[in-house]
Amino acid sequence: MNFSLPPRWLSDNNPDLHPLTDLAVSRAIISDFTPGDEAQAIHRADVLDFIDDHPDALHRSCLIGHLTASAWVVDHSGRRGLIMYHSKIRRWVQPGGHADGDANLAAVALKEATEETGIAGLEVWSVPIDVDIHLFVNRKQAEPDHLHHDLRFLVRAPQGAVERGNEESEALRWITAEETLDPALDLDTSTIRLARSGFTVAATVA
């Protein structure tokens, strides 16, 4: 069975974003993702192997790592992306968070983006734009370091959007593609790759 959604914008009230608990849904979404470069291809294969080896991959109880979803949030023009200064890891990153049992990773990405940016009326592009595996290092030491097997989606803000963070986003900042390389921001390579994919897709979808 193919669980993947056709490419289109979805808002939070769309029935295609309802929660799903079957890990096979997440696996199908990741399996159908077409890598754009070697890094994405490697991460895609490794995430699929992780899912096959860990039936609890959707849950934080899988202590070695678990599935997460991230969002590259662009303004309505698609020319600026929104990054957040994360209170736990103490650096600039994209919005995102844990699946917590929800296999519908596009819905997870939209929920996390809404919570961490405070922007109402966000929309998510239904197919992923990037996949990554990274070590989550909690600099406040509230939980052990672990791997995030992260599927990433493009999220679009409405015109006139006003951002306001939550307890995890100490600061929010809109940046251009050129600013992703600003040494002062110290974005990691996976975030820069996500931004590149996000800006590319944003320029091609209505």
Count of domains for the chain? 1
Report yes or no on 13 lying in a domain: yes
CATH number (domain holding residue 122): 3.90.79.10
Please indicate, yes or no, if residue 80 is contained in any of the structural domains: yes
Asked if 62 contacts 102 with a C-beta cutoff of 8 angstroms, the reply is no
Evaluate whether residue 38 is within a structural domain.
Answer: yes
As a whole number of angstroms, the distance between CA 34 and CA 32 comes to 6
On whether residue 2 sits in a domain, the answer given is no
For residue 23, the enclosing domain spans 9-202
Asked, for residue 3, whether it belongs to a domain, the answer is: no
Q: Count the neighbouring beta carbons within 10 Å of the beta carbon of residue 43.
A: 23
Contact 185, 174 (CB under 8 A): no
What pLDDT is recorded for position 1?
Answer: 43
Provide the residue type at 99 as one letter.
Answer: A
Q: What is the pLDDT of residues 104-122, one digit of tens each?
A: 999 999 999 999 999 999 9
Which of the four pLDDT bands, split at 50, 70 and 90, describes residue 6? Answer: confident
86 within a domain of the structure (yes/no): yes
Distance, CA of 92 to CA of 173 (rounded, Å): 9
Q: What is the DSSP letter of 79?
A: S
Backbone phi, then psi, for 41, in 5-degree steps?
A: -65, -40
Question: Is 96 within a domain?
Answer: yes
Comparing CA positions, the residue from 5, 162, 195 lying closest to residue 93 is 195
The residues, any chain, with a CB within 8 Å of residue 183's CB and separated by 6 or more, are none
Indicate the burial class of 167 (C-beta count within 10 angstroms; 0-12, 13-18, 19 or more): exposed
Q: Write out pLDDT tens, residues 154-205.
A: 999 999 999 998 888 889 999 999 999 999 999 999 999 999 999 999 999 9
Asked if the structure places residue 1 within a domain, the reply is no
Cα 98 off chain centre by: 10
